Amino acid sequence: SVNPDLASERQTASFSVEKLTALLDGGTEQTRIRRAVVEAIESDPVFSRENQYFQTQNERYEAAVRKAVHLQKKMHEMGWTENGPEYKYIYRALSGDVAFLLHRVFMRSISVLGSDKQVAKWIPLATQHKLIGSYAQTELGHGTYLQGLETTAVFDAATQEFILNTPKISAMKWWPGDMGRSATHTVVFAQLYIHGKCYGIHPFIVQIRSLQDHSLCPGITAGDIGPKMNFEHIDNGYLLLKNVRIPRENMLSKFCEVRPDGTYVRQGSQQINYFTMTTVRISLISDEVLTPLMKACTIAIRYSVVRRQSKLKPGEQEAKILDYQTQQEKLLPQLAAAYAFHFINDYLQELFNRGYKEIQRKNFDMLPELHALSSGFKAVITQHCTAGVEICLRACGGHGYSLLSGLPSLYTKILASCIYEGENTILLLQTARFLIKCFMAANAGQPVPPSVTYLAAVKHGKCPAKNKLDFLSPDIYTEAYQHVAVRLTSSTAAKLQDLIQSGVKKHDAWNQCTVQLVQAAKVSKIYLLI
């Protein structure tokens, strides 16, 4: 039975809920498919999340493994495939507590970075789950700055092997998901040395656990990094390598190869690697960032309809808290943002699919722009959605603070999106670097990529709004944000030049402008969002 306060609110909707649902899903057929997936998953007791907040970390890990294994059976039973229309709804319906997500990243990195021979060897093994893969990039002392990774892979021509080592504690791999307890293999990023010369970071397939008894392989020390703010079900791990020998064939060699005699050969372009990171940043927005905000809005707004507190009018029943202006001011902007981001996300996905096609045709022209766009949008959207979920949580008072409301775990999980796949401040600075470069180019009369042509069209002048009503026009905001974006970019560019001309070294000058640069990058993305 539906709470009568909820039922009465629903009757007042001025639109067709079913039509809006279809619009959000992308058509009635999509809605049908989504509902079928949700129904199949929610009715399956193995996928139940009913007791998750009462489980220990270990119980949650075990449940996540159980679900991952059961999912394979379920997909087979339901006829769902990784390329089928149901696939994108599965993980959304499971709502997160599933193990082996890094297995997919392991496979993707082999597909993208591996030679045809490597793909032919490893992908079938992974597909049949004859091994469990992970992805070991981040180290205890190194995250964003990939060049700073310290793990070494020294080529030994005598044995045709690479010898992998963790030279010091800060070089220990730290954070890789599924690696603390589950993974048998991982892709290790390490500094390649041949005959004493360093060739920079390269990816290596390393077996870390026995396929017979799951014990750690010789030279491997690995385990769980301990509890985090969320992701209790994931065995984020650490990994220490001591003289671990792997065959020469285990260096992923689509783009770079070490020949038997130690000759280093670079083949093709490595730019495609960066594009993979770029697409990951965009692809996480939907499930990891927008869905949590949508859920938080739904929970908080429904709660605000059924919760009554104080009297708006003397002598009446206590009022629904949604009827208070302060509650509306908290929640309605988050709801509006959820809709706005949903449609922006559709646009971004399309843009990146287009970019991907171009790149497959060996046209890399869009790369810098796509990198800047993905970095900036990831930072701005994760930041906004995280703040939105927190507002929803607080707007539910004490009940929002109970884990059973679902809001605390939505918050503690979405918060991580501001940090992973590129910490937001670093990403905004990368966006800013692109903006400054384009602004300089535009000023010098050179062509600039489509998303930043506005930088060339510097407008002076005042806000065209003349009265209150003008502020209801979206154009006013678009123009205002364009103005702010251009102004912040140009004034920071000018400050940078002034500093350099006054004798400050380029890198110092850059550091002295980074607060402004971050601001310019944010506003430039907000301008593109509206």
The residues carrying an active-site annotation are 421
Q: Which of 227, 247, 333, 447 binds its own copies (CB under 8 A)?
A: 227
Q: Rounded to the nearest 10 degrees, how much is the dihedral formed by the CA atoms of 362, 367, 369, 374?
A: 130
Distance of closest approach, residue 515 Cβ to its own copies, in angstroms: 5
Rounded to a whole number of angstroms, the minimum distance from the CB of residue 511 to its own copies is 5
Task: Give the one residue of 229, 265, 332, 340 binding its own copies; rule: CB under 8 A.
Answer: 229
Residue 437 Cβ vs its own copies, minimum distance, rounded to whole Å: 18
- Find the shortest distance in angstroms from Cβ 261 to its own copies: 32
Q: Does 403 bind its own copies (CB under 8 A)?
A: yes
Nearer to its own copies, 253 or 304 (CB): 304
- Please say which residue, 69 or 415, places its beta carbon nearer to its own copies: 415
Residue 507 makes contact with its own copies by CB under 8 A:
yes
For the bound state, the minimum distance from the C-beta of residue 229 to its own copies, rounded and expressed in Å, comes to 4
Q: Which of 510, 509, 422 is nearest to 145 (CA)?
A: 422
Examine residue 11 and tell whether it contacts its own copies (CB under 8 A): no
15 burial class (0-12, 13-18, 19+ CB within 10 angstroms)? exposed
Closer of 227 and 447 to its own copies (Cβ): 227
Pick out residues in 406-465 that bind its own copies (CB under 8 A): 408, 412, 415-416, 418-420, 423, 425, 429
Q: Which amino acid, residue 143?
A: G
Smallest separation (angstroms) from its own copies to the CB of 76: 35
Contact 496, 509 (CB under 8 A): yes
Instruction: Return the number of the residue (21 or 516) whose C-beta is nearest its own copies.
Output: 516
- Out of 81, 160, 270, 309, the only residue in the binding site for its own copies (CB under 8 A) is 309
Task: Confirm or reject binding of residue 274 to its own copies (CB under 8 A).
Answer: no
Phi first, then psi: give them for residue 173, nearest 5 degrees. Answer: -65, 140
Is 271 one of the binding residues for its own copies (CB under 8 A)?
A: no
| Structure-token pair, residue 326 | 């302060």
98 vs 323: CA distance, rounded Å:
39
Q: Give the C-alpha separation, 235 to 223, whole Å.
A: 8
- The whole-angstrom separation of Cα 282 and Cα 379 is 10
> Do residues 369 and 434 make contact, with C-beta atoms less than 8 angstroms apart?
yes
Nearest-CA neighbor of 276 among 252, 241, 247? 252
Locus of tokens 């959000």: 24
Does position 176 interact with its own copies (CB under 8 A)? The reply is no
Strand partners, 258: 264
Q: How far, in Å, CA of 483 to CA of 475, rounded?
A: 12
Instruction: Name which of 268 and 397 has its Cβ closer to its own copies.
Output: 397
**Pairing mode, strands 197-207 and 185-194:** antiparallel
505 binds its own copies (CB under 8 A): yes
Q: Does 262 contact its own copies by CB under 8 A?
A: no
Segment contacting its own copies by CB under 8 A, of 363-371, 402-410, 435-443, 456-464: 402-410
| CA distance between the termini of the chain | 40
Q: Which stretch binds its own copies (CB under 8 A): 214-222, 394-402, 475-483, 490-498?
A: 394-402
Residues 133-152 that bind its own copies (CB under 8 A): 138, 141-145, 148
Q: How many chain residues bind its own copies (CB under 8 A)? A: 60
Structure-token pair, residue 394: 């607080």
Of 144, 142, 138, residue with least CA distance to 423: 144
Those residues whose C-beta lies under 8 Å from the C-beta of residue 79, and which sit 6 or more positions away, are: none
AA letter at 267: Q
For residue 296 the two structure tokens come to: 């938080």
From 370, 490, 379, select the one nearest 429 (Cα to Cα): 379
Nearest-approach distance from CB 468 to its own copies, in angstroms: 13
Which of 175/527 has CB closer to its own copies?
175
DSSP letter, residue 467: S
**Interface of this chain with its own copies, residues 59 to 98, rule: CB under 8 A:** none
Binding residue (CB under 8 A) for its own copies from 397, 447, 470, 497: 397
Q: Which of residues 354-373 bind its own copies (CB under 8 A)?
A: none
Quickly tell me which residue has 């993208």 as its tokens.
112
Q: Work out how close the CB of 268 gets to its own copies at its nearest, in angstroms, rounded to a whole number.
A: 27
119 or 280: whose CB is closer to its own copies?
280
- Whose CA is closest to 22, among 12, 9, 35? 35
Residues interacting with its own copies, by CB under 8 A? 53-54, 56-57, 138, 141-145, 148, 174-175, 225-229, 307-314, 318, 323-326, 329-330, 394, 397-398, 400-404, 408, 412, 415-416, 418-420, 423, 425, 429, 505, 507-508, 511-515, 518
